[in-house]
Amino acid sequence: MSRVCQITGKKVMAGNNVSHSHKKTKRTFKPNLFVKKFYLEGEEKWVSLKVSAAGMRTINKKGLAKALKDAKEQGFINKF
């Protein structure tokens, strides 16, 4: 599985390390991802998601069912 949040779609970004002398070298910025299980009450089952910290806040705000529906519509997740 790649480093992509299944709720928000956040993924790895590229950028520069900048030293004191302003010499720049390439680096990557990785999202803050967790593999977490959530209980989906409508279907009475546990769902395992790779989700970022911002994705967990989205689930807390909208609810799991609505967040999964929105993620499926935007193409971040295939099933559900």
Kindly indicate the confidence band of residue 2, based on its pLDDT and cuts at 50, 70 and 90: confident
| Sign of the dihedral through C-alpha 53, 58, 64, 65 | negative
Q: What are 11-58's pLDDT values in tens digits?
A: 999 999 999 999 999 999 999 999 999 999 999 999 999 999 999 999
Q: Based on the number of CB atoms within 10 Å of its own CB, is 4 exposed (0-12), middle (13-18) or buried (19 or more)?
A: middle
| Sign of the dihedral through C-alpha 54, 57, 62, 68 | positive
CA distance linking residue 67 with residue 63, whole number of Å: 6
Report domain extents, the chain: 13-72
Matching CATH number, 13-72, of 1.10.1040.10, 3.40.710.10, 3.40.1390.10, 2.30.170.40: 2.30.170.40
Alpha-helix residue ranges (DSSP H) falling in the chain: 53-62, 64-74
- Kindly report the pTM of this predicted structure: 0.86
